[in-house]
Amino acid sequence: MTIDDFDIIVSTIPESDRLDRLFQYFYDAGIVRWMLDYEPKYTEQPPIKIRYPGAYGCGQHFCEIQAKMPHRNLIYFEDDAILMPDFCETMNRHLADLPDDWAIFLAGYARVWEHPEDVEGANKVSELIRHNVKIVHGTQCVVLRAGKWRENLTNDMRNHSFYGCKPKHGFDTCLVPWAKENEVPVYCAAQSFVGQGDTWSAITGKKQSRVGI
């Protein structure tokens, strides 16, 4: 598989001031085909307490996007993603290295909280790919392979059982635990190659950029 086998979706809000920057990254990387999907305003709150309310809206939007095209391969970007000019070539190298069973691939900035053996490299599939990820914080670039498992993801996100995998957290920190609980193979880049901009820091209360590459 190559990046040409995927539909590229950008999750954003109307009149987002992030899009000009993201489109420039796309242009520099040679990406000429993508779709925008606008996140609605959510008035409903989940039945459990989530630490970061924005992560709930992001997760529900992700659910809706991937449910619209359950039989299509998707590359999902949040609108604050930071891409390098060689993104397409880098993505193609990683796609070629993924094991045959992969379903979810995390390419973006991710504060990956690893098992101790991950740090030692024992869980590397290759120099590019890591597996047995414990949890991830950050979903700027999520690659989804088409498959029956996508229907289960949609159903669990809609009935909120998805968030039970990691209570008091949001979409990003629930994705990997949900995948493991449902035996959905998830992998991540051994070295992330998509950054995150304009994120809010719970520590400083200010916006910051985290490239993580």
% of the chain residues with pLDDT over 70: 69
pLDDT at 174: 79
State how far the Cα of 134 lies from the Cα of 113, in Å rounded to an integer: 6
Q: What is the pLDDT of residues 168-193, one digit of tens each?
A: 566 777 788 888 889 999 888 878 88
Q: What is the pLDDT of residues 2-31, one digit of tens each?
A: 999 999 988 887 777 888 889 999 999 999
What phi and psi values does residue 108 have, to the nearest 5 degrees? -90, 180
Span of 2-11, 81-90, 137-146 with lowest mean pLDDT: 137-146
Prediction pTM value = 0.82
State how far the Cα of 67 lies from the Cα of 156, in Å rounded to an integer: 12
pLDDT at 201: 41
Reference 140, options 50, 12, 46, 20; nearest CA is 12
pLDDT at 79: 86
Q: What is the pLDDT of residues 116-134, one digit of tens each?
A: 455 555 567 777 777 766 6
The count of structural domains within the chain is 1
Average pLDDT over residues 32-59: 65
Strands across the sheet with 81-83, in order? 81-83, 194-200, 207-210
Domain of residue 32, residue span:
3-210
User: CATH number for the domain including 103?
Assistant: 3.90.550
